[in-house]
Amino acid sequence: MSQRISEANAKRRFQTVLLSGFAGLAILIACAGLYGLVSYSVKQRTAEIGIRMALGGSQGKVRGMVLRQGVGLVAIGVVIGIGAALAATRLIAGWLYGVSATDPVTFVSLAVLLLSVAVCASLFPAIAAARIDPAAALRCE
């Protein structure tokens, strides 16, 4: 009997594994895209960051500024995404098994995951921005 049940659920299990793999790939692509966006923004704002550092801005404040920029973009996206997901709950309710369409644990855990990805993707550009030499930054412009 357990073999029959396993065979009956094989298609659904395969779809779930495939969907999970694509979701993981989407998270990696989003992380790479956000990293590229924040890195490019830091590169374009090198002179501004150099001036901030020359006028006494600390490395911590510069890191915080860059992190806020990256995480702020994702926070806006998460709020819009949660609103869209809540609006689409009637459409996806039939596809879900064992969880409600408005499961708060799922919504909160995905929001935390996406914000964590944003922090990780913004961290390296923030560290690079804090290490900008003000004299070299101003000489380039």
Tens of pLDDT, residues 26-79? 988 988 888 888 889 888 888 888 888 888 888 899 899 989 988 998 899 999
Q: Tell me the pLDDT band of 25, cut-offs 50, 70 and 90.
A: very high
Q: What is the pLDDT of residue 54?
A: 85
Q: Tell me the pLDDT band of 3, cut-offs 50, 70 and 90.
A: confident
Please work out, in degrees rounded to the nearest 5, the angle formed at the alpha carbon of residue 15 by the alpha carbons of 10 and 18.
125
Q: Using CA atoms, how far apart are residues 64 and 72, in angstroms rounded to an integer?
A: 11
Tens of pLDDT, residues 85-104? 888 888 877 777 677 778 88
Q: What is the pLDDT of residue 141?
A: 55
pTM metric for this prediction: 0.73
Evaluate whether 127 touches 35 at the Cβ level (below 8 Å).
no
